[in-house]
Structure 1
Amino acid sequence: MAFLMHMSLRKQDAGIFIGSVLWLLLSCSFSFAVESDINCLKSIKASLEDTLGYLNSSWDFSNNTEGFICNFLGVECWKPDESRVLNIKLSDLGLKGFFPQGVANCTSLTGLDLSSNQLNGPLPTNIDHIITFITSLDLSSNSFTGPIPIKLSNCGYLNVLKLDNNKFSGTIPPELGQLGRIKTFSVANNQLSGQVPNFNYASITADSLANNPGLCGKPLEVCRSAAKKSSIVKVLNSYNVGIAAAAGFGFGFPFSFCFFPSKSS
């Protein structure tokens, strides 16, 4: 009897121990997430030039109360009293600088809007590691340059991708056409060229591609190379038909003498 009671107590102690460990792990994980999101915003603020003072006046990190960052300008949290950033909306704030790579520390972020600022330079080639779970990315009306990163195609949660009114050059990576959730895609008013990708899961309009002098393909004009290739194929087909007809005529002509001999005296 005493042995059974001893075993029961040991099981109870083990349960308490396991519960304590799980609570500790969850607490550490939550604390890390909170600290990570705070560092995310600190990094964004430090990397951008706040020409109009909006971030300097609103993003005050001296407050240590839970959820204090949720009151920052342009910051939306999953819960008002929980420092886990859901969306960052910093549109039209006169911000200058490069794309803020510190965004990667906002591990629960689903939306990033940096539109209508004065941001410049190329986008990071490893952008898929920075905005892994983002569903909406709006970088329109800035001065970003260089190619559109091919690794944006790895951001499989994207529903909205706005890159219009920048200075992007090169081609649109064809892999972007494979984004399975994309609904809005805009690259109008850039310096892009080449073939428009075949978007399998979205209806892309000509307006969203407009004013890129070298861009071609559906829904824009047919690319010259494709049109030229089509013309060559048509010519070759016509040539082959002509050869076949001529061969048929040449083959049939001798038989006319065999089966229909001429009437001679």
Structure 2
Amino acid sequence: MLLRKQDAGIFIGSVLWLLLSCGFSFGVESDINCLKSIKASLEDTLGYLNSSWDFNNNTEGFICNFLGVECWHPHESKVLNLKLSDLGLKGSFPQGVANCTSLTGLDLSSNQLNGPLPTDIDEIIMFITSLDLSSNSFTGQIPMKLSNCGSLNVLKLDNNKFSGTIPPEFGQLRRIKAFSVANNQLSGPVPNFNTTYITADSFANNPGLCGKPLEVCRSAAKKSSIVKVLNSYNVAIAAAAGFGFGFPFSFCFFLPRAPSVRYLVVFARRFKS
């Protein structure tokens, strides 16, 4: 039996409402699980999270009242920013952040976090525009895949223990406005950001770093010197070749034209005798 238009409209509306409700609930549940995972993975030495992050409350948007949590809307449990700076947190980078699917800002600065950053960090903080991990004890190399986070405006990794090179792919971060890796153990050439926002202060106290806006890298300077020497050598060779070819030509040119053959014969006989 065919449904009447009114009944069909009610049915379609109910299905759409159900789909939207499921999607909304999933989003809320995902963000709640995100915060639960972060709390479980970090050592809360000062008790800030333990006293504020109470998951026993089931009212809509309850996580938006947590310390350091900013939501897109105060009555919707979708996390916009996490500002967990200077809370005495210990542990490694909290990979549970990946469950905060609408997160745009993450600030974990001035804590006691350590260890390497995840190599797939771009999949964990896919839509981040601001990442501040400064003043911790992170080690290892800076993940190259951070360059895939094309929305980044702010990237602060200073005052850690990062080593190795800065991925040259960071030059692809076209939206970057603030960048700092000062006070680490980095070496090698710095990326070409093509922006005036990033100055030498962004790379301070990394004795192994070089390149604009720092001092020219030795390898580049050495290569430049070699090129200059080769250019000078080529000029000298060209001049010598020109002189060698020009001398006999000039000699022949300035001899008297009419008696030239006779003069050469007489000269040859005298030389022979």
Normalising by structure 2, we get a TM-score of 0.91
Alpha-carbon distance, 1:15 to partner: 1.8
Alpha-carbon distance, 1:68 to partner: 0.5
The answer to whether the Cα contact below 8 Å between 1:184 and 1:202 also exists between their aligned partners in 2 is no
Residue by residue, what CA displacement relative to the aligned partner does 1:229-250 show, whole Å, maximum 9, x if unpaired?
A: 0000000000011111111111
Residue by residue, what CA displacement relative to the aligned partner does 1:20-71 show, whole Å, maximum 9, x if unpaired?
A: 1111111000000000000000000000000000000000000000010000
Identity %: 90
The answer to whether the Cα contact below 8 Å between 1:121 and 1:144 also exists between their aligned partners in 2 is yes
- Distance in 2, matches of 1:84 and 1:36, equals 9
The answer to whether the Cα contact below 8 Å between 1:41 and 1:103 also exists between their aligned partners in 2 is yes
The answer to whether the Cα contact below 8 Å between 1:179 and 1:201 also exists between their aligned partners in 2 is no
Of 180-189 and 11-20, more deviation after overlay is shown by: 11-20
The answer to whether the Cα contact below 8 Å between 2:174 and 2:193 also exists between their aligned partners in 1 is no
Of 198-207 and 139-148, more deviation after overlay is shown by: 198-207
**Equivalent residue pairs, number:** 256
- Distance in 2, matches of 1:221 and 1:13, equals 75
**SS of residue matched to 1:133:** coil
- Distance in 2, matches of 1:11 and 1:135, equals 47
Normalising by structure 1, we get a TM-score of 0.94
**SS of residue matched to 1:218:** coil
**SS of residue matched to 2:78:** strand
Residue by residue, what CA displacement relative to the aligned partner does 1:68-117 show, whole Å, maximum 9, x if unpaired?
A: 00000000000111100000000000000000000000000000000000
- Distance in 1, matches of 2:131 and 2:7, equals 50
- Distance in 1, matches of 2:15 and 2:244, equals 92
- Distance in 1, matches of 2:9 and 2:201, equals 62
The answer to whether the Cα contact below 8 Å between 2:38 and 2:94 also exists between their aligned partners in 1 is yes
Alpha-carbon distance, 1:226 to partner: 0.4
- Distance in 2, matches of 1:10 and 1:201, equals 63
Q: Which runs of structure 1 show a deviation greater than 3 angstroms over 4 or more consecutive aligned residues? A: none
Of 197-206 and 175-184, more deviation after overlay is shown by: 197-206
- Distance in 2, matches of 1:180 and 1:218, equals 17
- Distance in 2, matches of 1:153 and 1:202, equals 19
Q: Unaligned 5+ residue runs, structure 2?
A: 255-271
Alpha-carbon distance, 1:168 to partner: 0.3
- Distance in 2, matches of 1:107 and 1:146, equals 27
**SS of residue matched to 1:243:** helix
**SS of residue matched to 1:8:** coil
Alpha-carbon distance, 1:203 to partner: 3.2
- Distance in 2, matches of 1:25 and 1:246, equals 85
The answer to whether the Cα contact below 8 Å between 2:90 and 2:112 also exists between their aligned partners in 1 is yes
**SS of residue matched to 1:169:** strand
Alpha-carbon distance, 1:258 to partner: 1.2
**SS of residue matched to 2:54:** coil
- Distance in 1, matches of 2:219 and 2:142, equals 23
Q: Unaligned 5+ residue runs, structure 1?
A: 1-6
The answer to whether the Cα contact below 8 Å between 1:133 and 1:155 also exists between their aligned partners in 2 is yes
Alpha-carbon distance, 1:9 to partner: 5.8
- Distance in 2, matches of 1:193 and 1:225, equals 13
- Distance in 2, matches of 1:22 and 1:251, equals 91
The answer to whether the Cα contact below 8 Å between 2:179 and 2:202 also exists between their aligned partners in 1 is yes
Alpha-carbon distance, 1:209 to partner: 0.3
The answer to whether the Cα contact below 8 Å between 1:36 and 1:106 also exists between their aligned partners in 2 is yes
The answer to whether the Cα contact below 8 Å between 1:182 and 1:202 also exists between their aligned partners in 2 is no
- Distance in 2, matches of 1:256 and 1:78, equals 88
- Distance in 1, matches of 2:189 and 2:48, equals 41
Greater CA radius of gyration, 1 or 2? 2
The answer to whether the Cα contact below 8 Å between 1:188 and 1:212 also exists between their aligned partners in 2 is yes
The answer to whether the Cα contact below 8 Å between 1:189 and 1:210 also exists between their aligned partners in 2 is yes
**SS of residue matched to 2:186:** strand
**SS of residue matched to 2:4:** helix
Question: 47, 69, 72: which one pairs with 1:78?
Answer: 72
Aligned-residue RMSD, C-alpha: 1.8
- Distance in 1, matches of 2:237 and 2:172, equals 43
Residue by residue, what CA displacement relative to the aligned partner does 1:189-245 show, whole Å, maximum 9, x if unpaired?
A: 000000001113553100010101111000001000000000000000000111111
